[in-house]
Each structure stands twice: as C-alpha cells, then as structure tokens.
Amino acid sequence: MVIRFEFGAADLAGLRFAHSPMAEMVASLFARRSTSFRYASWRRGVSLDDLPVLRAVVDGPLGYAPDFLTPVPRVPRPALSDELRAIAATDPGTAVEQVLAGWRGHTAPPEMTWFATQPRKALAALSVELRRYFDHALAPLWPRLRTLADTEIAARSRAAAERGPRVMVDGLHPRLAWDGSALLIKYPEKSGEWPSVGDLTLLPTAFAGDHVFAMRDALWYAPRGHGAVWGHEPPRTDPLAALIGPTRARVLALLARPQSTGEVAAAMRLAPATASHHLTTLRDAGLVAPTRDGRRLLYHRTALGDQLGAAAPQ
C-alpha cells in the first residue's frame, strides 16, 4: 500500500526541517499503545489514567489523533509552550469535528460530550494535560531528543550543500522513496494520491520509530541513530556482538551521533590506531560512512548501520 505525494524537483527548494515537541509527543502516544515498540520499559512507565481528556482524545477505538495536535512549526525549534498555545487557540468547530472523528460509530466517553458542548474549556484542559504528559513522559528524554534532531538536521543540510538538495529526501527512511516527481510513502493499510501543497516540512521525530507519519504539508520520520535516545536500556538480545564482535558493536552503538576517530578512541578507551581499525572495518562493511566537517572527519551510521545498531549494546 503506497501513498503517492506529488513532489517534483522544483519542490526541493521549499523543503525545510524542524523539530517539534508536539510531533514527538503524539508519536510517543502512538508508541505507548504499540506492543511492538522496542523500548518496553519506557512504555510501561507511561499512563494516561490521571489525564482523562487526553486519554479520550487519543485513545479512541479508531486509533486516530486529531491533526490540530500537531501544528506544522513555523520555526526550526519551536517551544512546547508556543505549540500548546496554538492548540488551545484551535477553531472550536475544527476541534470538535476532529476529536469526535476518533469515536465515529462507537459510544464516546463523557469527555467527548464536554468537548462538543464546551470546546474552548475542553481545549484549555487538554493543553494542561498535554503539558503534564510531556513533563512525565518526555522531559527526561528531551535533551537527547533535541540533540538527535539537531544532529540529523545538520547532517542532512551539510550533505545537501555538498551533493545537492536531492539528498534531503534520498535515503531518508526505508518507507520513503522519491521517483523525481513524487514521494512514495509505504503504509500498511493506506493508499492514494495526494496533490502537492507547496513547501514541505520534514520533522525528525525519534518516537516515530519504524513508521512515517504523513500530513499534507509535513512528514515525521525517525532520525538516524534514534535508538540512542533509550540508550540506558539493555538490549533484549545481543546478536550483533556475535556477528561483528562486541567492540565493533559498541562502536556502532556509539555512532548514533557522528564522531571522529579520536572521540571514539576516548569514549571506548582505545588506542587511536585500534579505533581507526574498527571504524575502517565497519566502513568496509557498509555500516558507517565518513563525512567531512571542516577539518574533522566524522563517522556516522548508514541506513544499514542504523538497522543493526538498534540491537547494539549501549
């Protein structure tokens, strides 16, 4: 199943990146419901039991999250407070239509009746509960989430400057492809044709994980090395160490953020020559690649390295 999103070569000029707290939050709410989400201990520690309005809005039987929860950022690094103000100011009619859509054909809880009759008060209460959810579920991870997105944006922008804007979409995510005239988005149960709406915002969102979330003017995808956000959790198994060796598996895990040979050597307490040997081996295997940053040569994981790095010891 594929959604074809009209996107020609001329549209590359309008591409921009941003990192949105609300995109991370809504993606995390989807991850919280997914039994396949890899980092189960985070999921077990998150509950909406004391957030009744938020629970009613996002836990409907149709698995739907209203579009107004994820306003497309106007700046590269929006603050959560600004996004919450935009949500609280949503047109009441739009808010009611979108929240009730998640319960269409089912018996809705009392919070939905409140939304339908007093949407402004319900939006204000929802904004308060979103802040509480963020403080509990995302705030401890936020420095890592922001750093990961900043690293992704810098690497993509640098690559575009060196090799042309096409690299902004080429290799962005395994579920995405670009044929020169359209972005092809693989969905498990959706297909269709979307017309171009002009400028497109790319939102690196660690909680997106293996998925791509698409709106008409924004795409959320997991940035390279997103598994490092939950780096304090031990892997369930360690097949990668058996495949490439424990030291190289640790190096691959370390390269969730681009680093130089010297940085790898210092972090791993290796001799520079030994670190260089491991990096060369990983490069020859197609798991890492070098990128020049001024006078520094930084190594980062390739798409294949990201896939294997999710199983690397942290």
Kindly report, residue by residue over 13-32, the tens digit of the pLDDT.
788 899 999 999 999 999 98
Residue 227 predicted with pLDDT over 80: no
pLDDT of 131 above 90: yes
Backbone angles phi, psi at 215, to 5 degrees: -120, 175
Residues 6+ apart with CB under 8 A from 8: 180, 181, 182, 196
pLDDT, tens digit, 9 for 90 and up, residues 167-226: 777 777 888 888 888 888 877 666 777 777 668 899 999 998 888 888 878 889 988 777
**108-121 pLDDT tens trace:** 999 999 999 999 99
pLDDT of residue 279: 92
Token pair, residue 150, equals 């900043």
**Confidence class for position 311, pLDDT limits 50, 70, 90:** very low
Dmax (CA) for the chain in angstroms is: 69
What integer pLDDT is reported at residue 241 of this predicted model? Answer: 65
Q: How many residues does the chain have?
A: 314
Neighbouring residues of 219: CB distance < 8 A, sequence distance ≥ 6: 176, 183, 185, 200, 201, 202, 203, 212, 213
Confidence band of 231 (pLDDT split at 50, 70, 90): low
Q: What angle do CA 4, 10, 15 make, to 5 degrees?
A: 75
| Torsional sign, CA 246, 244, 253, 31 | negative
Average pLDDT over residues 229-239: 53
Summarize pLDDT for 54-95 with one digit per residue, the tens.
999 999 998 889 999 999 998 999 999 999 999 999 999 999
Does the pLDDT of residue 140 top 80, yes or no? yes
> Mind listing the domains of the chain with CATH numbers?
2-16+143-227 (no CATH), 21-141 (no CATH), 234-309 (1.10.10.10)
0.75 cut: is pTM over it?
Answer: no
* pLDDT computed for residue 242 by the predictor: 61
- The string of pLDDT tens digits covering residues 248-269 is 888 888 887 888 999 888 888 8
Q: In the predicted model, is pLDDT for residue 236 greater than 60?
A: no
